[in-house]
Amino acid sequence: MRILVVGSGGREHALCWAIAASPLCDKLYCAPGNAGIAAEAECVPIGVDDVTTLVAFARSKRIEFVVVGPEAPLVAGLVDQLEAAGIKTFGPSKQAAMLEGSKGFTKDFCTRHDIPTAAYGRFRDVAAARSFIYARSAPIVVKADGLTAGKGVTVAQSVDEALAAVDEAMVGGRFGAAGAEVVIEEFLEGEEASFHALVDGAHAVPLAAAQDHKRVGDGDTGPNTGGMGTYSPAPIVTPAMAETIMARIIRPTVAGMAADGKPFKGVLFAGLMIGRDGPKLIEFNVRFGDPECQVLIPRLMSDLLPGLIAARDGQLKNFALRWRDDAAICVVMAAQGYPGAHKRATVIRGLERAAKVPGVYVFHAGTAHMDDQIVASGGRVLGVTATGPTLADARDHAYQAVDSIDWPDGFCRRDIGWRALTPGAATGSA
- Examine residue 233 and tell whether it contacts ligand GLY (CB under 6 A): no
Residue from 101, 179, 227, 266 in contact with ligand GLY (CB under 6 A): 227
State in angstroms the smallest separation of the CB of 178 from ligand AMP: 12
Which residues inside 146-185 make contact with ligand GLY, applying CB under 6 A?
A: none
- Contacts with ligand AMP, residue ranges (CB under 6 A): 118, 141, 150, 153, 155, 185-188, 192, 214, 224, 271, 282-283
Span interacting with ligand GLY, options 22-30, 274-282, 288-296, 405-413, rule CB under 6 A:
288-296
In this structure, the dihedral spanned by the alpha carbons of residues 151, 101, 265 and 270, taken in order and rounded to 10 degrees, is 40
- Examine residue 235 and tell whether it contacts ligand GLY (CB under 6 A): no
Residue 289 contact partner, candidates ligand GLY, ligand AMP, none, CB within 5 to 8 A by sort of partner: ligand GLY
Window 341-380: contact mask with ligand GLY (x via CB under 6 A): ----------------------------------------
State in angstroms the smallest separation of the CB of 293 from ligand GLY: 8
Closest CA to 27 of 66, 70, 73: 66
Residue from 191, 212, 409, 415 in contact with ligand GLY (CB under 6 A): 212
How many residues interact with ligand GLY (rule CB under 6 A)? 6
Residue from 40, 145, 192, 290 in contact with ligand GLY (CB under 6 A): 290
Residue 290 contact partner, candidates ligand AMP, ligand GLY, none, CB within 5 to 8 A by sort of partner: ligand GLY
Between 148 and 244, CB nearer to ligand AMP: 148
Residue 155 contact partner, candidates ligand AMP, ligand GLY, none, CB within 5 to 8 A by sort of partner: ligand AMP
State in angstroms the smallest separation of the CB of 189 from ligand GLY: 20
Residue 12 contact partner, candidates ligand GLY, ligand AMP, none, CB within 5 to 8 A by sort of partner: none
- Examine residue 117 and tell whether it contacts ligand GLY (CB under 6 A): no
Between 61 and 174, CB nearer to ligand AMP: 174
Rounded CA-CA distance 320/315 in Å is 11
| Residue numbers at the binding site for ligand GLY (CB under 6 A) | 212, 227, 285, 289-290, 292
